[in-house]
Structure 1
């Protein structure tokens, strides 16, 4: 009788009760000679009787992650904030045409480009 099976039975049997390894009948249930408590919990004990399979997985290591520093500097955030306020007040004008900027995305783009010019940490343009 395996150690795992004995540990499972220890909680089910009363003091002084003899433990014989239960012989399962062809239907899969525990034999009628075992205790009623054992029969009641036979489905749970059957888990311990199954042979264990050890799965072997090949681990693919991920490349080391770079330091999680800031993508945009505080200075860049302040520049965008300043441009957003100008847009909300209606004083933000686009560079070439001089028209009033109404789009939120356009205001952010103007703020980031000004931050780039002043030397703040801002990622490169994608296009």
Structure 2
């Protein structure tokens, strides 16, 4: 019998080649904390291919999309709020 393979998306968030993420950052309760951590990781990364804003937003969006229906409504709201905080942190206008 073969052992079940872990999901590739989980490996991406744990071992992203672009950003070194703080462990369990997506489980934080405060959207500002999530945004600050992603911003910091994106700005110090030497391996990212896009600008820091796009790298940080892409990682957050990737996490939300891959978690899908497994996210509670509260967790999804906090992660969506983190997107707005990320826009603010990078000085991007919210639309």
Which interval holds the TM-score relative to the shorter structure?
under 0.3
Normalised to the residue count of structure 2, the TM-score between the two structures is 0.26
- Bigger Rg, structure 1 or 2: 1
Normalised to the residue count of structure 1, the TM-score between the two structures is 0.21
Which structure has the highest helix share of the two? 2
